[in-house]
Structure 1
Amino acid sequence: MQELSVNLTIPIPEDSILITKNEWNELKEEKLRGVYWDMKQLEERIHRKQDWIKENILYQPRFIKKLDAEKGGFVYYPRAKGQKWSFQANKMADFLDKHFSDIFIQ
């Protein structure tokens, strides 16, 4: 079998850097670490209204055990009138990505 060996130089623009996929994922996660969303921010993030989010995600039996902070999750479910929803942004974003088809394709 014949082989061809090539030495190739690809210029990277001055305003760019090359990083690994792992480094990129760590940077994305770090950006959301310590950030919390309220319901309005979650609505804006997934382009759905609160009623839809509650019906299709937050109160779905298949998800509630994973989500509820009282069960070890990352969503604070209001327990009394006047309390607000709270979501750990990085974990909620991961959950939405992981369960995209379960949520949006029914």
Structure 2
Amino acid sequence: MQQLTVQLSIPIPAGSVLISRVELEELKKQELSGVYWSMKDLEQRINRKSEWIKENILYPSRFRKTLDVEQGGFVFYPKSKGQTWSFQAVKMAEFLDRHFAQIFK
């Protein structure tokens, strides 16, 4: 069998850095770590209005028992008028990725 050895140089632009996928995922998590989303932030992330989010993600019992901070989750459900929704960004993003098919069916 014949074999060809080639040396190749690929320039990386000055404003770019080459990193592994694992490092990229860690950087994304760090970026969102300690960050909390409002309902408006969540609307922008998934491109849906708050009414849809509530009906399809936040209020169905199959998700609420995982999400609700009162049950060990990462979503603060307002208890009275004037209180706002609050979502731990990293955990909510992971939840949305993990349950994408269930949510958007």
Q: Helix, strand or coil: the match of 1:103?
A: helix
Distance 1:96 1:5 in 2: 45
Structure 1 runs of 4+ aligned residues shifted over 4 Å read none
TM-score (norm 1): 0.90
TM-score (norm 2): 0.90
Deviations 1:51-105 (A, max 9, x none): 110110001222112111121111011122322110001111111122111111x
Aligned-residue sequence identity (percent) comes to 64
Gaps of 5+ in 2: none
The answer to whether residue 32 in structure 2 is matched with residue 17 in structure 1 is no
Distance 1:52 1:64 in 2: 15
Give runs of aligned pairs for residues 1-106 of structure 1, distance below 5 A: 1-104=1-104, 106=105
The RMSD of aligned alpha carbons is 1.3
Gaps of 5+ in 1: none
The AA in structure 1 aligned to 2:92 is M
